Amino acid sequence: PWGAPPQDPPPQDPRPWGTSPQAWEFQPATPLPPPPATPLPPPPPAPPAPPRARRPWAMVGVASLASAALAAGGTWALVGAEGGTTPSATSTVVVEQAAQLQTTDYESVVAEVRDSVVAITVATAGGTGAGSGVIIDASGHVLTNNHVIAGARGIEVTLADGRIYEGEVVGTDESTDLAVVRLVDAPADLVVAELGTSATLQVGQDVIAVGNPLGLSSTVTTGIISALDRPVTTTDSQGFPGGQSTVVVTNAIQVDAAINPGNSGGPIFDLSGRVIGITSSIATLSSGSSGSIGLGFAIPVDLAARVASELIADGTASHAYLGVGASDTQVEVDGTTRTGALLREVVAGTAAADAGLKTGDVVVAIDGRPVSGSESLTGYVRQFSPGTQVVLGVVRDGTLEEVTAVLGTAD
C-alpha–C-alpha distance, residues 312 and 115, integer Å: 22
C-alpha–C-alpha distance, residues 33 and 204, integer Å: 34
Question: Which of 298, 223, 293 shows the shortest CA–CA distance to 256?
Answer: 223
C-alpha–C-alpha distance, residues 165 and 186, integer Å: 8
Positions annotated as catalytic residues are 147, 177, 264
Could you tell me if 190 and 207 are in contact, meaning their C-beta atoms sit under 8 angstroms apart?
no
- Burial, 216: exposed, middle or buried (Cβ in 10 Å; 0-12, 13-18, 19+)? middle
Alpha helices in 319-373 (DSSP H): 351-355
Length of the chain in terms of residues written: 411
C-alpha–C-alpha distance, residues 56 and 266, integer Å: 24
* Cβ-based neighbours of 82, under 8 Å, separated by 6 or more: none
C-alpha–C-alpha distance, residues 60 and 240, integer Å: 20
Quick one: three-class SS letters along 363-405? EEEECCEECCCHHHHHHHHHHCCCCCEEEEEEEECCEEEEEEE
Amino acid at 311: L
Question: Which of 202, 191, 193, 245 shows the shortest CA–CA distance to 224?
Answer: 202
* Cβ-based neighbours of 235, under 8 Å, separated by 6 or more: 243, 245, 246, 247, 248
Alpha helices in 204-287 (DSSP H): none
Element (H, E) at 152: none
Question: Which of 132, 120, 113 shows the shortest CA–CA distance to 164?
Answer: 120
Radius of gyration from C-alpha coordinates of the chain: 22
Could you tell me if 5 and 178 are in contact, meaning their C-beta atoms sit under 8 angstroms apart?
no
